[in-house]
Chain A
Amino acid sequence: EIVLTQSPATLSLSPGDRATLSCRASQSVGNSLVWYQQKTGQAPRLLIYDASNRATAIPARFSGRGSATDFTLTISSLEPEDFAVYYCQQCNSWPLTFGGGTKVEIK
Chain B
Amino acid sequence: QVQLVQSGAEVKKPGASVKVSCRASGYTFISYYIHWVRQGPGQGLEWMGIINPSGDNTNYAQKFQGRVTMTRDTSTSTVYMELSSLRFEDTAVYYCARGGLRGMTMTYFDYWGQGTLVTVSS
Chain A positions near chain B (C-beta within 8 angstroms): 32, 34, 36, 43-46, 49, 55, 87, 89, 91-101
Contact = CB atoms under 8 A, between A and B. Distances in A.
Contact of A43 (B35, B44, B107, B114): B114
Contact of A46 (B46, B108, B113, B114): B108
Nearest to A91: B106
B114 to A, nearest CB: 6
B95 A43 contact: yes
B55 to A, nearest CB: 18
B57 interface: no
A93 B108 CA distance: 12
A101 B43 CA distance: 9
Given A43-B113, A43-B114, A43-B115, A98 B45 contact: yes
